[in-house]
Structure 1
Amino acid sequence: MRQRVAVIDFETNGAAPGRECRATEIGVAMVEGGRVVDRFQSLMNAGVWVPPMIERLTGISNAMLKDAPPAEQAMREAARFVGDTPLAAHNASFDRKFWDYELGLLGLARSQEFACTLMLSRRLLPQAPDHKLGTLARWASLPDTGRAHRALADAEMAANLLTLLGDTLQQQYRLADIDHALMGRAAPQGARSRRRR
């Protein structure tokens, strides 16, 4: 897939966005022509508390967030970085909720669609042991991108997976090229999906 796609990942302090549940970190891996060509990452201080279980999982502490950029600033910069580039994420229904919520707090709205590498992997890689992002990356021998459950590392991992899925879709259906819209149609997102990884 030659088209430029912004693959995003949020770390959060909970499962559903709201006043007490916000994004704590955002990572964006810009993939084009089968490789990551640009990156954006920022912690996000939204004034929320990170439970110990989430801190152990992500390594993001309340102390780290105290000195992080305000969530509004980080999200505005991320939105500017992405622009109108098509979006993708692993379990996009999760990240889409937070992307839309954080944009909404800025008075902005998303104009582009999401492709979901989780849904695509279920359709195109049924032989995988499971469809968690880390499992798929190890199973497919994708490059090591760093600590799991950190936003940029996971965004890059999902970007590498998106490239693999694009290649798989192209080969299986003998297509000359594919684009983001086709990947979205190949695996429509369900109404609800649980947190991945």
Structure 2
Amino acid sequence: MKQRIAVIDFETNGITPGADCRATEIGIAVLENGNIVDRFQSLMNAGVRVPPMIEQLTGISNAMLASAPAADAVMREAARFVGAMPLAAHNAGFDRKFWDYELSLLGLTRTQDFACTLLLSRRLLPEAPNHKLGTLTRVCRLPDTGCAHRALADAEMAANLMQHLADTLRRRFRVGDVDHALLCRLQKVAAAKVGLFLGVIS
């Protein structure tokens, strides 16, 4: 993809953002012209506790967060880093709600849409055994970006997957110009109607 897209991943201490459920790490990979050209990553101390199950999953401990920068400072820096770039994530509904919540605590509001590589992969890679990020990375033979369930590694995996999906659109469906707006439209199309949708625009 030619345009710059900010692919975001959060690690959190729970599922639904709120006073006791906050982001603990953010990773952002900037995709441009098929390559990751910039990165942002930081732990975030929001004053919340990480349950043992999540610490085991992510490797992010309460001790690590105690010395991490304050969440509001990290989010201000992340918002400046992203600017007006279009946004994307794998299972974007999850990351979008944490992005929006953390921004709201700063009095900021998101203006960009999120493209979702999970929804897109369900439409473009129906043959995959499942549509988890790690599975798709292996099935599509994408680069190993490091430790899964750490924010930057997952953001880079999602960025590589987004480029693979764009390449799939060009190769399999002969779509010439793949951009963020097209992906946002495509992810809303019923899986059974993808061929018809792409046949009209190609």
TM-score, normalized by length of structure 1?
Answer: 0.95
Q: Which ranges of structure 1 fall in alignment gaps of 5 or more residues?
A: 191-197
Match of 2:83 in 1: 83
Secondary structure of 1:156's aligned partner: helix
Match of 2:12 in 1: 12
Q: How many angstroms does 1:189 deviate by?
A: 9.0
Q: After superposition, what is the alpha-carbon deviation per residue over 1:14-63, rounded to whole angstroms, capped at 9, x for unaligned?
A: 00000000000000000000110000000000000000000000000000
Which one has a bigger Cα radius of gyration? 2
Rounded Cα–Cα distance in structure 1 between residues aligned with 2:136 and 2:109? 32
Q: After superposition, what is the alpha-carbon deviation per residue over 1:94-120, rounded to whole angstroms, capped at 9, x for unaligned?
A: 000000000000000001000000000
Tell whether 2:115 aligns with 1:115: yes
Partner amino acid for 2:47? G
Match of 1:26 in 2: 26
In 2 relative to 1, CA 144–27 (structure 1 residues): closer, same or farther, beyond 3 Å?
same
Match of 2:132 in 1: 132
Q: CA RMSD in A?
A: 1.1
Rounded Cα–Cα distance in structure 1 between residues aligned with 2:36 and 2:68? 25
Q: How many angstroms does 1:153 deviate by?
A: 0.2
Match of 1:39 in 2: 39
Partner amino acid for 1:61? S
Q: What are the equivalent positions in structure 2 for 1:1-197 lying under 5 Å apart?
A: 1-188=1-188
TM-score, normalized by length of structure 2?
Answer: 0.92
Q: How many angstroms does 1:177 deviate by?
A: 1.6
Rounded Cα–Cα distance in structure 2 between residues aligned with 1:43 and 1:88? 20
Match of 1:193 in 2: none
Match of 1:194 in 2: none
Percent pairwise identity? 72
Secondary structure of 2:40's aligned partner: strand
Moved more, 11-20 or 172-181: 172-181
Match of 2:197 in 1: none
Rounded Cα–Cα distance in structure 2 between residues aligned with 1:139 and 1:129? 9
Contact 1:119/1:189, CA 8 A, preserved across alignment: no
